[in-house]
Chains A and B, each alone.
Chain A
Amino acid sequence: SQKIEQNSEALNIQEGKTATLTCNYTNYSPAYLQWYRQDPGRGPVFLLLIRENEKEKRKERLKVTFDTTLKQSLFHITASQPADSATYLCALVSSGGYNKLIFGAGTRLAVHP
């Protein structure tokens, strides 16, 4: 069956450290993979997109990697800050379903001062 898995446990890290979040998928062939941030009571906010033929994408303190062999994406936040505390969602765009986003359940990140 098709699955997208993100760490269900909250990730707690110290301010200034690098946070690494994982998104694994099975039985999908994503053309694109997107990462969103969601704060309580709000809708998801787009952060980064990576294509299937790209290995890595960066934006300021954010970095995303995409390994189609391992069927995994890693999302890194360097020099983390308490303001980075939120739930982070990965979303696939399957090559068969070109427009809709298929979300993972999200990982809650807590950055402590």
Chain B
Amino acid sequence: EAGVTQFPSHSVIEKGQTVTLRCDPISGHDNLYWYRRVMGKEIKFLLHFVKESKQDESGMPNNRFLAERTGGTYSTLKVQPAELEDSGVYFCASSQLPGGSYEQYFGPGTRLTVT
């Protein structure tokens, strides 16, 4: 069974540009999460999809970030326009069932560098 995959693995963009990150969850996992780790800090929650619906987007930093999950399969996270403080590693995770009693399977992350 394939794990969670993320693309690209690394992206370097200039301030003001747009970047789109992609996540493919494990097949059959309705729950998809985005997290990020900025330099020196802990991993922080961004949002949670159940199928194509946003269940919780309380962690999204501002309206420059837009997440979608059309059709309830893969998800994209767009940052537009990118700022220097958006640099970090963006992780996607999926789980078969929701709730904290179930493990989340993480992808390898996308390292975003904004210069």
Residue of A nearest to B9 (CB): A41
**Do the beta carbons of A100 and B103 come within 8 Å of each other?**
no
**A9-34, CB under 8 A of B: which get 1 and which 0?**
00000000000000000000011101
Q: How large is the interface on A (under 10, 10 to 19, 20 to 34, 35 or more residues)?
A: 20 to 34
Q: Does B55 contact A (CB under 8 A)?
A: yes
Q: Does A93 contact B (CB under 8 A)?
A: yes
Q: Interface stretch among A45-53, A59-67, A72-80?
A: A45-53
B4: A residues at CB distance < 8 A: 43
B25: A residues at CB distance < 8 A: none
Q: A100-B59, A101-B45, A103-B42 are in contact. Are A31 and B100 (CB under 8 A)?
A: yes
**Do the beta carbons of B104 and A46 come within 8 Å of each other?**
yes
A97: B residues at CB distance < 8 A: 56, 58
Q: How many B residues, CB 8 Å from partner?
A: 27
B59: A residues at CB distance < 8 A: 100
Q: Does B105 contact A (CB under 8 A)?
A: yes
B48: A residues at CB distance < 8 A: 99-100
Q: Does A110 contact B (CB under 8 A)?
A: no
Chain B CB within 10 Å, residue with most, of A31, A44, A99: A99
Q: Interface stretch among B68-76, B79-87, B91-99?
A: B91-99
Q: B residues bordering A, Cβ < 8 Å?
A: 4, 31, 33, 35, 41-45, 48, 55-56, 58-59, 91, 93, 98-101, 103-109
Which 4 A/B pairs are nearest by Cβ-Cβ distance? Answer: A93-B100, A43-B106, A46-B103, A32-B100
A sample of 18 cross-chain residue pairs with beta-carbon separation below 8 angstroms, ordered by A number, consists of A31-B101, A34-B103, A41-B109, A43-B4, A43-B91, A44-B43, A89-B43, A93-B99, A93-B100, A99-B56, A99-B98, A99-B100, A100-B48, A100-B56, A103-B35, A103-B44, A105-B42, A106-B42
Q: A residues bordering B, Cβ < 8 Å?
A: 4, 30-32, 34, 36, 41-46, 49, 51, 89, 93, 97-106
